[in-house]
Amino acid sequence: MTVQPPPGYVAVDAARETLARRRQIRGALRHPLELFTLVVAILASAVILAVGVNAFIDAVIQQRTPNTYATILVLAPVLLWFLRGQLLAKLRVNGVKITPTQYPEAYAMVAEAAREFGLSRVPDAYVVLGNGMINAAASGHGFRRFIFVYSDLFEVGGRLRNPDALRFVIAHEVGHIAAGHASYWRWLGIFASNWIPLIGPALSRSQEYTADNFGYAHCPHGSASAMATLAAGKYLNASIDINAIADRAEQEKGFFVWTVNAAASHPVLAWRAHALRDRSAPGRLLWRPQGPTSLAPPPDYPHLTPGPPR
Ligand SMILES: [Zn+2]
């Protein structure tokens, strides 16, 4: 008679294998500039933190009221922990939890992405009221990881007009978790960099390209309709020529285009669509794409085909 392991038990070898797989996938899919921008953001954040803590201590010694920013920086570890806990609590009590019985197709998508990316457990997933807004996000609190999808975005794939678009979005969000973007320590490390104009947004954009790579690796066919939905919403998405948008990444240029991208947390949509179409080079962080930089095999991409030759 063989002894059955208790429920939830994961063999050490299997756990090790899962971790190795996750590392391998991360290494393959991470944007090549993400770790560099992360290190710059951590260093810049540490400088601001040191200045803030110093100012706070000075104010206490001199019995003055500390500067608001200095106070926020000193309280950052608790503040961050509290805000992440609040976010999860709001989802738990206001969101629709995606479970094997509530939106089973979507639950299967979350579970499939988690398994493919080597996560040891399936993240919690929620649908929240979008009120017309198109958005989705991933975060964590303690050891829990979770994603949430705005209802308007969920409806694009929910029951199930375009399941691949939703599959791509869910894989993008689970990809954030697999890539370590939802870690408390990471968020704390870059806490102050969010106040630095170029550095914080550049890191964020590199993370978005990484998450798009996860989405593409899991469901390449969903990326075009996901981008079209981000461009024009859940009703017009079917009539969008996403190739025309991707082409404009190369055509639209100038100082103001540069500043719009440089200040954005997500790559501007044309660049993002271009990066998903041209798999021969990573997405551009600061300078507009100039067309394929190397000869790549034809993309496995029914909706996004390369633009006309120049
Ligand atoms: Zn994202």
pLDDT digits (tens, 9 = 90+) for 265-305: 999 999 999 999 888 889 999 999 886 554 444 444 334 44
Identify whether the C-beta of residue 79 lies closer than 8 Å to the C-beta of residue 101: no
CB atoms within 10 A of CB 169: 30
Average pLDDT over residues 68-88: 93
What pLDDT is attached to residue 212?
95
What pLDDT is attached to residue 304?
43
Q: How far is the CA of 57 from the centre of ligand 1 (A)?
A: 37
Q: How far is the CA of 220 from the centre of ligand 1 (A)?
A: 16
What pLDDT is attached to residue 168?
93
- Residues 271, 24, 143, 185: what is their CA dihedral angle, to the nearest 10 degrees? -60
What pLDDT is attached to residue 158?
59
Q: pLDDT-derived band of residue 13, with 50, 70 and 90 as boundaries?
A: low
What pLDDT is attached to residue 14?
63
What pLDDT is attached to residue 176?
96
Task: Report the SS3 class of residue 137.
Answer: strand
Percent of the chain with pLDDT over 90: 54
**Domain housing 190:** 12-239
What pLDDT is attached to residue 64?
86
For residues 153 and 97, the model is more confident at 97
For residues 132 and 190, the model is more confident at 190
Q: How far is the CA of 223 from the centre of ligand 1 (A)?
A: 13
Q: How far is the CA of 177 from the centre of ligand 1 (A)?
A: 10
Neighbours of ion ligand 1 (CB under 5 A): 208, 211
Average pLDDT over residues 224-252: 88
Q: What is the DSSP secondary structure assignment for residue 158, as one 8-state letter?
A: S
Q: pLDDT-derived band of residue 12, with 50, 70 and 90 as boundaries?
A: low
For residues 20 and 118, the model is more confident at 118
Q: How far is the CA of 58 from the centre of ligand 1 (A)?
A: 39
Q: Which amino acid makes up residue 39?
A: V
Place of tokens 């479970």: 99
What pLDDT is attached to residue 169?
93
Average pLDDT over residues 48-62: 89
Q: Can you tell me the distance from the alpha carbon of 114 to that of 118, in angstroms, rounded to the nearest whole number?
A: 6
Identify whether the C-beta of residue 67 lies closer than 8 Å to the C-beta of residue 60: no
Residue 172 falls inside a structural domain = yes
Residue 291 falls inside a structural domain = no
Q: Can you tell me the distance from the alpha carbon of 103 to that of 114, in angstroms, rounded to the nearest whole number?
A: 17
Identify whether the C-beta of residue 261 lies closer than 8 Å to the C-beta of residue 272: no
Q: Can you tell me the distance from the alpha carbon of 17 to that of 121, in angstroms, rounded to the nearest whole number?
A: 14
What pLDDT is attached to residue 310?
39
Q: How far is the CA of 196 from the centre of ligand 1 (A)?
A: 20
Place of tokens 């630095």: 196
Average pLDDT over residues 145-150: 94
Domain count, the chain: 1
What pLDDT is attached to residue 303?
42
Residue 171 falls inside a structural domain = yes
Q: How far is the CA of 156 from the centre of ligand 1 (A)?
A: 17
pTM above 0.95, yes or no: no
Q: Can you tell me the distance from the alpha carbon of 151 to that of 127, in angstroms, rounded to the nearest whole number?
A: 6
Identify whether the C-beta of residue 280 lies closer than 8 Å to the C-beta of residue 297: no
Q: What is the mean pLDDT of the chain?
A: 86
Residue 268 falls inside a structural domain = no
Torsion sign over Cα 114, 119, 124, 127: negative
- pLDDT of 111 higher than 50: yes
Percent of the chain with pLDDT over 70: 86
Tokens of 62: 């001199």
- pLDDT of 183 higher than 60: yes
Q: How far is the CA of 250 from the centre of ligand 1 (A)?
A: 23
Q: How far is the CA of 190 from the centre of ligand 1 (A)?
A: 17
Residue 308 falls inside a structural domain = no
- Determine which of 21-25, 115-119, 174-178 has the lowest per-residue pLDDT on average: 21-25
Q: pLDDT-derived band of residue 308, with 50, 70 and 90 as boundaries?
A: very low
Residues 241, 242, 246: CA angle, nearest 5 degrees: 125
Residue 271 falls inside a structural domain = no
Residue 91 falls inside a structural domain = yes
Q: How far is the CA of 176 from the centre of ligand 1 (A)?
A: 7
Q: Can you tell me the distance from the alpha carbon of 264 to that of 274, in angstroms, rounded to the nearest whole number?
A: 17
Q: How far is the CA of 178 from the centre of ligand 1 (A)?
A: 12
Average pLDDT over residues 40-63: 91
Q: Can you tell me the distance from the alpha carbon of 31 to that of 43, in angstroms, rounded to the nearest whole number?
A: 20
Tokens of 172: 């993008």
Identify whether the C-beta of residue 173 lies closer than 8 Å to the C-beta of residue 211: yes
